[in-house]
Each structure stands twice: as structure tokens, then as C-alpha cells.
Structure 1
């Protein structure tokens, strides 16, 4: 892989075989950037993800395309791995500039549609009720209530996300002229997350079954966030962690030669990374059972879980995300019969079975 830093400061990489990547920055985020991939096709270049909706991110994407000898106006299509704003944020602007189509799995398209059509306060009301039900203290709920009453809602990510105009159908080849790119449904990080399997010989001759654009599903040094699928109107009890673990095993069976993720860097040995992540989550579930020797609310469990920094240093918004991850692990333990809800509440408490 050849990587070049151009005079603009734009970093682009040539992965061979008509595949490049551009590091598009994510503002004020420790991840740093999204790797937007450019795939050449017989009908023109296609982007896999687009980056965060931000002027600096847009300028970086445009400069990166120019460094690769193309322009945003030349983009033929946009394939989105999942709806999160660091992946889907600039899709609408790309479509406006180029007339490109946008493709996404129907489960994530439904989220985009719901977010666009909902009264903005609906989400904050739902989140406040939900956090109260799992034991969040008043000092965590107060800023949410203040934002709701103060009308500070139009800055929420996703309110102007583009509605896709094509559906990614799992198991099918995408309509990319001259390429074999197959969609693999990998729910977990989001309900409609997809990986994209480039079923073509590796350009450097690496052994294995082609390459995989893995989005956030399989990253070389990070375990992606697995929280609850948030839908205020859905009463179904989902199991995102169970979905994620099953999706990991599905990807492991592909035997790809190389993984091209949306963050960090390209890597080989997908099977080894899959095993590491499966082991990580099993160890985490076992550790949570020890914590559940006495009844805990999901909030109390999140406070006691191991994160990348002490709980006291985790910002307000990240605490809400952490509690959602604690809940997804609790859902998995309950489904496996290893934990159970204690009658009573709210707030709901859980104990090891």
C-alpha cells in the first residue's frame, strides 16, 4: 500500500486494484478520522462512506479526491456501511454535487427516515425516560431536560442526513460495473450495518478470499460500541451483542486476505482479529457476572465496568453511550440464562442467575 501526504495535508492511500482511501477528519473525536474508500468502476468512482458533515471534513474529502485525479462531481455512487454521522454525514452533499445514488441497508435507512421525520424533542424525551428507568442520577438527567426546555435541539447529529435512494440487499452483488462487491449483513454496531466483500483476487497476491470493507464491524485495535438499538416505537427486546457476535463469526468464515476498515488502518488476519473480539466479549460477560453477585441497575453496572478511562473522567454524552453498552451486555446475559431481572423498580436491577 502506498500512502502519500500531499501539500494540502491530505492523506490518501493506494490499496491497489483500483481502491484508494482518504483520511477524512472527525471533529473533536478521539478516533481522529474516517477512512473513506474510493472504488473505481466502469461507470465512474464510487465512495464507500463519506465522513462527518463538517466544512473541514468536506474540504478534506474534496482535496483527497483531487489528489487521486478525480472530483466530487465525478462520483457515480455512494455505498454506506451504516448510518452513523462519521460515515453517512457528507452523503447528501456528495449527491448534490454529483447526482450520485446513495445505497444503505433498509434497517439503517429506517433510522435515517425516523430521525428526519421526528419532532427533535422526541429523542431527548425518550432518552431521558430511558436513562431514568435504568437508574441514571438526577445530575445526569438535568442537562437533557435543560436542552429540551431550552430548544437546543437542531444541533443533534442526523437531523439532515440524506435519505438513501437504493437498498443494499444482503447476499447480493452491488450494481458496480466491472466489480464484484457483495453485501454482508453484519448487525450489532447498528441494526443495518453491512460489510462489503470485494470478491476479486488481492492485487498484491495475498492468500485469501478477496478484501473486506468492514466499516466499524471489524477494526484492528478497537472493539466497536455495541449498545441497544434505539427506537422509541419498537417494543421488541433486541439482542445487539448477540447479533454482533454472530456477525463476527460470519465474517470470520469468509477467509479474506485483507480488511479495509473505516478507522485506523488496513490489516490482514481477519480470522485472528475475529477470535480476539469473541474472546474479549466472553471475558467481559464473565466479568460482569461477578459484578452482578448483588443486584445492580444498568447505570450502577456501567459505573463498575472497565472503560478506557475512570468513570469520573467520562464525559456526559459518553456516559449515556456506556450505559447503553452495559444494557446490551445485560440483554445477552439474560438471553443466555446467566442473569435475570429482579422484580420491582423502576429503576430495574439485575442479578446473576
Structure 2
């Protein structure tokens, strides 16, 4: 397996595309549909003796355009099978628009969050400009589901549905063998995974704004983080930047990050009074620009919704959230089971 890094100045930094070469040529994610990035991917594949027309399989971790944008173009050149979880497939096969592209959905969501006109206009202008460039060609998808397995040149990839960042986010789990190949007693099998944006080495993946279709986005993501803790992979290969050598520790760090942020939301409601989503976003993140005008209130909404589901806050007809109890047990909303052995 080879890793090709592609430029990305819009989202979480350099995108990673993973390449399996052999009898089958397969890619994990594709990068965004921009001319410079397309050239980088072509060049990286060429160094491996591969062209777009040689690709047989594409496994997408989720629908976001910085991961799926070039899939349609590669498929048009090669006839490659493009696999993606069924929950995300409609957003790249053209049968459904995401909030990033649907003005009517944007108006309804921004109204619910209480976005003022100025940041709303800035965000809509940003999305209009960016999505025109990033959309890519339509994709004929082959939807997959949790637990499905795929053989690629002797490696078995198992799809693991870990939603939260998007409704259809999946990891692709596989086994590696370490030690002396000539000595059976010295060989150890380890489990690793390609994880897209489910966990990242530097940033905490956005929940709430990254895919507004997800019901209970924070609660859903917490369950996915707990699943990563329990799986205890020896290494994770994310969709951005560099490998994660202790995925369980990274998942635990992100879990703690969300516990602290939820506590901040509770403290803010107690100390500063009721707030709608946009007000809470401002309290948490301050002034925002471009894509963060979506991600900030989306994240605030995810935390408020999680608290509402737990009966800790209530929402009135005007969209304002109020604390229901003085000292809620926030820790109880963020379980952290013991890590299992990965041997």
C-alpha cells in the first residue's frame, strides 16, 4: 500500500489517497476535483506506473468533496467500481443535494440556528464559489453496508460504519503481519484501518455542521469513538496529514474534548443565560468566517441537542435553550470503556 498526499487549503489540510497496486488497482478516497489536485494525483499515480484508466476499485470513506471529488472522473476513465456507504451514496451520485448545495435547505437550517444575515450571506457566497469548483463529475455508486468485506490483492478490507461526521462515514479495517516471515512464532497479526475523517491526527472532526442529516450527531459520534476504543487498532490511516499510531488514545482524546465542550455549554447557559444556536456558537468560538460559519453553529447545535436529549436543557419555540438543572452529570454522557487487547 502506498500513500499519496494532495494539497488542500480549504478543509483540514493535506488529503491522503491510499493506493493498492497489483492484480487489482484500488484507491481509498480520491482528493478534491481541482486542477492542481488532479495533477498531483496523476503525478503520484504515474510514479507508481498507474493512470486514472488503470483504477479498478475506489473505496470512499464518506461523501465530502475533498474525499470523493475526483471519483467520477476516474470512473469515467476506467469504469472503476466506486464503493461508499449507502447513507452517503445519494450525495455523490446526484440523487440528493447536501446542505452545501441546496439553497432551500440552507435557509431552513440557518433559520433554525438563528444565523444573522451578514454571516449567512458570507457563508452562502463561500459555498456557492467553492462547491462550483469542488463538485466533480457524477458518480455511479455501489453502496456498501457495515460488515461487508472486500478482497484486494490478498488484503481483506472490512467496512466498519462509524457515523457522526457524516451519516455514512466508514472505516476500512484490515490486518497486517509483523515480525520474521520465516518464523511463525515471531509473527504477530495487527489490525489497522483507513478512517477518513472519523478521527484525525490534529483536528477534531466537525459534528453537526459537516452533515446536517445526522440525527443526534454528537451522541452518534460518541458511539463511534467508543467503538474505536473497543477495537483498539494498532494504527489508523486518516484522510488528512499523517498516520495515527495509537487510534484508541486519539479517540479518547477527542471524546474528552467533547466532554469538556459540553461542560462549557452547560456553564455558559448557567452563567450567561439562555442562548440560541448562533449565540452559543459565538460564546464557544467567537467570530467565524467561510466554512467555519457552518461548522461553528453546527457543532454548537450538536452539543445543545445532545443535552436536550438527556433532559439537561430545553428548547423553546424561539429556538433558545435553557438549563433545566443546576448541576447535571455531564460525565455520564461520555462513556469511556476499557481498551481491549489488540494482540
Count of residues in Structure 1 that have an aligned counterpart in Structure 2: 316
Check the 8 A contact 2:33/2:134 in 1, yes or no: no
Check the 8 A contact 1:206/1:257 in 2, yes or no: no
2: distance between equivalents of 1:71 and 1:110? 27
Q: In the alignment, which residue of structure 2 is the partner of 1:297?
A: 276
SS in structure 2 of the partner of residue 219 of structure 1: coil
> Cα–Cα, structure 1 residues 44 and 131, in superposed 2: closer, same or farther, change >3 Å?
same
User: Which digits, 9 at most, give the CA deviation of each residue in 1:314-346, with x for residues without a partner?
Assistant: 2143212211111111111111222211x332x
> Cα–Cα, structure 1 residues 57 and 206, in superposed 2: closer, same or farther, change >3 Å?
farther
Q: In the alignment, which residue of structure 2 is the partner of 1:278?
A: 255
Structure 1, unaligned stretches of length 5 or more? 1-18, 232-236
Deviation at 1:141, TM superposition (A): 3.3
Q: In the alignment, which residue of structure 2 is the partner of 1:226?
A: 207
User: Which digits, 9 at most, give the CA deviation of each residue in 1:74-106, with x for residues without a partner?
Assistant: 211100000000000000111112221100000
Check the 8 A contact 2:6/2:37 in 1, yes or no: yes
User: Which digits, 9 at most, give the CA deviation of each residue in 1:157-179, with x for residues without a partner?
Assistant: 66555334312221121243522
Q: In the alignment, which residue of structure 1 is the partner of 2:42?
A: 62
Deviation at 1:132, TM superposition (A): 2.4
Alignment pair present for 1:344 and 2:321? no
2: distance between equivalents of 1:282 and 1:97? 46
TM-score (norm 2): 0.83
CA RMSD of aligned residues (A): 2.8
1: distance between equivalents of 2:250 and 2:187? 17
Asked which structure has the greater RCO (Cα within 8 Å, sep 6+), the reply is 2
> Cα–Cα, structure 1 residues 157 and 338, in superposed 2: closer, same or farther, change >3 Å?
farther
2: distance between equivalents of 1:45 and 1:253? 31
Check the 8 A contact 2:24/2:152 in 1, yes or no: no
1: distance between equivalents of 2:46 and 2:2? 12
TM-score (norm 1): 0.81
> Cα–Cα, structure 1 residues 97 and 206, in superposed 2: closer, same or farther, change >3 Å?
farther
